[in-house]
Amino acid sequence: MAAYTTKRTASIHENKDKRYRQVTVTDLKERTESPTDSDESNRRNRNSSHQTSSNVASSSSSSLDSQENSPIDQVALTVPTTDDPTLSAVTFRTWTLGTLACIVLSFLNQFFWYRREPLVITSISAQIAVVPLGHLMASFITRKVFLKGTKWEFTLNPGPFNVKEHVLITIFANSGAGNVYAIHIVSAVKLFYKKELAFFVALLVVLTTQMLGFGWAGVFRRYLVEPAAMWWPQNLVQVSLFRALHEKEERRKVGLTRNQFFIVAFICSFAYYAFPGYLFPKLTSISWLCWIFPASILAHQLGSGLLGLGIGAFGFDWATVSSYLGSPLASPWFATANIAAGFVLIMYVIIPIGYWLNIYKAKNFPIFSDGLFTSAGQSYDISAITDPKFRIDIDAYERQGLLYLSTMFVMTYGMNFACMTATVVHVFLFHGRDMWELSKSAFKDKKMDVHTIIMRKYNQVPEWWFLCILLLNIVATMFTCEYFKDQLQLPWWGVLLACGIALFFTLPIGVITSTTNQTPGLNVITEYIIGYLYPGYPVANICFKVYGYISMKQGITFLQDFKLGHYMKIPPRAMFMAQVVGTIVAALVHLSTAWWLMEAIPNLCDRESLPPGSPWTCPSDHVFYDASVIWGLIGPRRIFGDLGHYSAINWFFLGGAIAPILVWLAHKVFPNQHWIGLISTPVILGGTLHMPPATSVNYITWIAIGFASGFIAYRYYRDWWSRNNYVLSGALDAGLAFMAVLLYVCLGMHHVSLDWWGSDSEGCLLASCPTAPGVILKGAGGPAGGFSCELEPEPATIEPRFIKLE
């Protein structure tokens, strides 16, 4: 079989006519009925793999008829329709470089996560860095075959470094590139509540939350990986980069090859980030309204990109663009337009109306803040309402008074409510029939695109592998929560309920993510449910949220990686191995790094105690802690229920359920208006779910660049877009990441800094001031920390109000 495969692959490239290409497709379809073990074929053909891979890489995607290719234009333009099954995927290089990439990215991402502008170093950086290392290992490591002639035969060097090894190494790196959400539990307990949490208990929580997602991924593979309509836009960035790094491309008479374009863009990104990253940090957010009106609270509220509505603000920093929403170059234009609509709706309609009409005493608080306040606008003292058993002290709470939130924070929660119901209804209406057909047919009689046809020749991962991991993790989680109940507070039935929520939402959220590149979160709905069922236990609340939300999110991440392997024709079992090992390694490194930082950095995350300008402000952890107070300690009933003052926000649930029905009806009434079908109410309503900690300048800059790429370049410069768009995205990510690490190692670790006008923040300090007469805000914290706002009484005439800084 191996000899036949090698001869057949060579014949494809020796004969360029259509007759041979059609035979290849037919042959692939026949071979899907009898999967083969590619690893055995790899061992027998390692000597011929390099020559074959170079031929296959040079084969055009036109090797299949157009009807065999993906129906998604972006996929058809980007993903190759060829495969070389003789290439070795799991090798010594894969294990060594993959594990190294996972460890390094896990350490760096956790290290930078606590900073004011958290730097996310994506797997693209490792994807580039391992290329010279892979070729170096191929050149110098012995090619001796050990245990030759036995079934245990192996070699440390099967030949030249190939693309399938590279993909698996990147899958390892993907595990380290993602944020381990369960670390937030450790941060909240140790840094904010000042309670003890054993390292072993924290490790069990981190491992079980990360591994639960494999079960959901296994259950929903047939719905979210194999269908061509589930195309996962983010993967196209990495596919483009793999092709640029491995395929030999003829030099163009005019313009650059993809490899040359990547190198130029990478160098430019690397060099430029020295300015926003060190020399000129003000480039992170340019807010010209604050410069024109330096003493006007209103101007600062309107113009601040970090603390206000961001009118006219813009960021000249790729970290500002991609920190929270990912790369806008990877987002299809219809998804970008939906997010833009949601951003405009909440930031320029709902929040201004709520604030300037003083709904819920909005003027007593900053217009844009993730803080917790008393009715008088002062910071809420959480420690005063917490008893020694880590529960709410009702008498102390009644003395302290009701908890209040900023207008932005309240409305963000409302939009989160709406997004959850909209997601379920939208997927039921627009994708329900397809999901039902897939459930009945399980692809046996359903038309498949070429990528699914090719992948059918590999041994698939049995369902019981996923189910075993799922059941073992559920049992381990229940044991952990019950045995260490004094530290985690979550009862066994809470674990089962969290798993049920994750199972229910994985499919609808997976559909949204795989088609729009945006992932609605379950964090708020999980907090809401357990907050009502088990109020007064803050750690139980955040544990329930992590098990219900992150196990689903991890499942989505695993499915996205499976789709990447699907596009690059990686054996599914090799993918499974890389994901499992990478996830375990990443969990260990993330937790160890976070634990070390908590011990090594004084006053980590304590904004009032940190020195001015300190980067260790932990924006995401502050939001997580605030949520644990709102939903866990105090509980939703005392805030959003009959005992609170935000009960009207619950109507957002109904509004979210109605919105997709209106769009669906419009689509049925006007079937020729195709743009109506592109309206995604979950994306519109969930467009601002990253706020906080994301700010308006993150969204404004992201939307502007997404428009330039997804609309202008894709529509009017299609050839340039198809060649360079995703390559540019990878180059920008990689250049920024390498320069950021270099700046920290060379300058940050030695506390070398600049002090000039360009080193300050955007200069909109007054944006965080309340505007109600007589309210004094002491120690505002955040980017404007260290000052007091003393407001003069409300003037009788309409004049600009000024503020005095102390």
Query: Poorest-confidence range of 354-363, 440-449, 549-558, 673-682?
Result: 440-449
Q: Which of 78, 95, 117 marks a domain boundary?
A: 78
DSSP bridge pairs for 802? 296
410 in a structural domain: no
Contacts of 164 (CB under 8 A, 6+ apart): 87, 88, 89, 568, 569, 570
Q: How many CB atoms lie within 10 A of CB 229?
A: 13
The rounded distance, in Å, linking the Cα atoms of 596 and 511 is 38
CA–chain centroid gap for 727, Å, is 19
337 in a structural domain: no
β-strand pairing of 789-790 with 154-155? unpaired
Mean pLDDT of 498-526: 83
Q: Evaluate if residue 160 carries a pLDDT over 80.
A: yes
Mean pLDDT of 298-317: 87
Report whether 305 contacts 695 (CB < 8 A).
yes
CA distances from 23 to 17, 18, 30, 64, 80 (A): 11, 9, 11, 10, 18
> What's the confidence (pLDDT) of residue 364?
86
Nearest to 767 by CA among 368, 404, 352, 396: 368
Nearest to 734 by CA among 407, 89, 267: 267
DSSP bridge pairs for 154? 146
pLDDT band at 68 (very low <50, low <70, confident <90, very high): low
Report whether 452 contacts 444 (CB < 8 A).
no
267 in a structural domain: yes
Contacts of 125 (CB under 8 A, 6+ apart): 105, 733, 734, 737, 738
> What's the confidence (pLDDT) of residue 588?
93
Nearest to 749 by CA among 758, 741, 738: 741
Q: Evaluate if residue 32 carries a pLDDT over 50.
A: no
Contacts of 216 (CB under 8 A, 6+ apart): 470, 502, 503, 506, 551, 552, 554, 555
Q: Which of 52, 78, 104 marks a domain boundary?
A: 78
The rounded distance, in Å, linking the Cα atoms of 88 and 75 is 25
Q: How many CB atoms lie within 10 A of CB 296?
A: 18
> What's the confidence (pLDDT) of residue 613?
67
Mean pLDDT of 648-675: 88
Looking at this protein, which amino acid is placed at residue 652?
F
Looking at this protein, which amino acid is placed at residue 502?
A
Mean pLDDT of 136-159: 84
DSSP state of 305: T
Q: Evaluate if residue 790 carries a pLDDT over 90.
A: no
CA-derived radius of gyration, the chain: 27
SS3 790: strand
Residue found under tokens 């989505």: 556
Nearest to 214 by CA among 446, 471, 569: 471
In sequence order, what DSSP letters do the residues of 91-137 get, joined into one string? Answer: -HHHHHHHHHHHHHHHHHHHHHHTSSS-----HHHHHHHHHHHHHHH
Query: Poorest-confidence range of 53-62, 191-200, 783-792?
Result: 53-62
Nearest to 763 by CA among 371, 295, 363: 295
DSSP state of 764: -
> What's the confidence (pLDDT) of residue 751?
75
727 in a structural domain: yes
Query: Poorest-confidence range of 316-325, 778-787, 793-802?
Result: 793-802
Residue 48 corresponds to which tokens in the numbers above? 């011929």
**Which helix or strand (DSSP H or E) is residue 466 part of?**
helix 463-483
pLDDT band at 23 (very low <50, low <70, confident <90, very high): very low
The rounded distance, in Å, linking the Cα atoms of 203 and 480 is 10
627 in a structural domain: no
The rounded distance, in Å, linking the Cα atoms of 400 and 360 is 18
> What's the confidence (pLDDT) of residue 325?
82
> What's the confidence (pLDDT) of residue 589?
93
Per the prediction, the chain carries an average pLDDT of 79
CA–chain centroid gap for 489, Å, is 28
Nearest to 313 by CA among 269, 353, 281, 282: 282
214 in a structural domain: no
- 727: containing domain: 251-294+718-753
The rounded distance, in Å, linking the Cα atoms of 246 and 785 is 49
DSSP state of 358: T
Report whether 566 contacts 225 (CB < 8 A).
yes
Query: Poorest-confidence range of 239-253, 489-503, 684-698?
Result: 239-253
The rounded distance, in Å, linking the Cα atoms of 262 and 241 is 8
48 in a structural domain: yes
**Selected residue with higher pLDDT from 383 and 338:** 338
Residues 716-735 pLDDT 10s: 888 888 888 878 887 888 88
In the chain, pLDDT over 70 holds for what percent of residues?
A: 84
Q: Evaluate if residue 63 carries a pLDDT over 70.
A: no
706 in a structural domain: no
> What's the confidence (pLDDT) of residue 689?
79
Contacts of 622 (CB under 8 A, 6+ apart): 370, 605, 607, 693
Residue 441 corresponds to which tokens in the numbers above? 């047919």
Residue 287 corresponds to which tokens in the numbers above? 């807010």
Looking at this protein, which amino acid is placed at residue 355?
Y
Q: Evaluate if residue 127 carries a pLDDT over 80.
A: yes
Mean pLDDT of 535-562: 88
**Which helix or strand (DSSP H or E) is residue 398 part of?**
helix 394-400
Residue 229 corresponds to which tokens in the numbers above? 């309509």
pLDDT band at 794 (very low <50, low <70, confident <90, very high): very low
> What's the confidence (pLDDT) of residue 702?
92
Mean pLDDT of 216-242: 84
Mean pLDDT of 768-779: 66
**Which helix or strand (DSSP H or E) is residue 737 part of?**
helix 718-743
**Selected residue with higher pLDDT from 48 and 85:** 85
Mean pLDDT of 746-774: 79
> What's the confidence (pLDDT) of residue 330?
79
> What's the confidence (pLDDT) of residue 15?
38
pLDDT band at 448 (very low <50, low <70, confident <90, very high): low
CA–chain centroid gap for 323, Å, is 9
Report whether 377 contacts 775 (CB < 8 A).
yes
CA–chain centroid gap for 396, Å, is 39
Q: Evaluate if residue 110 carries a pLDDT over 50.
A: yes
DSSP state of 777: E
> What is the number of structural domains in the chain?
2
Q: Evaluate if residue 45 carries a pLDDT over 90.
A: no
> What's the confidence (pLDDT) of residue 779?
45
Residue found under tokens 């073992």: 472
Nearest to 295 by CA among 789, 636, 737, 796: 789
CA angle 726, 730, 733 (to 5 degrees): 140
Provide the CB-side half-sphere exposure for 459 (13 A, CA).
11
The rounded distance, in Å, linking the Cα atoms of 733 and 720 is 19
Residue 673 class from Cβ within 10 Å (0-12 exposed, 13-18 middle, 19+ buried)? exposed
The rounded distance, in Å, linking the Cα atoms of 765 and 780 is 10
Q: Evaluate if residue 26 carries a pLDDT over 70.
A: no
Q: Evaluate if residue 792 carries a pLDDT over 50.
A: no
**Selected residue with higher pLDDT from 723 and 559:** 559
**Selected residue with higher pLDDT from 107 and 434:** 107
Provide the CB-side half-sphere exposure for 217 (13 A, CA).
29
Residue found under tokens 């390094």: 104
DSSP bridge pairs for 404? 373
Mean pLDDT of 644-673: 88
The rounded distance, in Å, linking the Cα atoms of 380 and 385 is 10
Looking at this protein, which amino acid is placed at residue 667?
H
Contacts of 149 (CB under 8 A, 6+ apart): none
Q: Evaluate if residue 571 carries a pLDDT over 50.
A: yes
Report whether 735 contacts 270 (CB < 8 A).
yes
The rounded distance, in Å, linking the Cα atoms of 700 and 697 is 5
pLDDT band at 799 (very low <50, low <70, confident <90, very high): very low
Q: Evaluate if residue 251 carries a pLDDT over 70.
A: no
> What's the confidence (pLDDT) of residue 476?
92
Phi, psi (5° rounding) for residue 802?
-115, 165
Nearest to 88 by CA among 131, 48, 136: 48
The rounded distance, in Å, linking the Cα atoms of 770 and 297 is 9
CA distances from 613 to 121, 368, 739 (A): 23, 20, 21
Report whether 256 contacts 728 (CB < 8 A).
no
Residue 16 corresponds to which tokens in the numbers above? 């360029």
Q: Evaluate if residue 19 carries a pLDDT over 70.
A: no
DSSP bridge pairs for 392? 386
Residue 258 corresponds to which tokens in the numbers above? 């993809």
Q: Evaluate if residue 644 carries a pLDDT over 90.
A: no
pLDDT band at 791 (very low <50, low <70, confident <90, very high): very low
SS3 185: helix
**Selected residue with higher pLDDT from 124 and 217:** 217
Looking at this protein, which amino acid is placed at residue 381?
D
> What's the confidence (pLDDT) of residue 782?
38
Mean pLDDT of 314-336: 85
Q: Evaluate if residue 801 carries a pLDDT over 50.
A: no
Residue 269 corresponds to which tokens in the numbers above? 């990104």
pLDDT band at 688 (very low <50, low <70, confident <90, very high): confident
Q: Which of 78, 106, 123 marks a domain boundary?
A: 78
**Selected residue with higher pLDDT from 369 and 658:** 658
pLDDT band at 435 (very low <50, low <70, confident <90, very high): low
CA–chain centroid gap for 37, Å, is 34
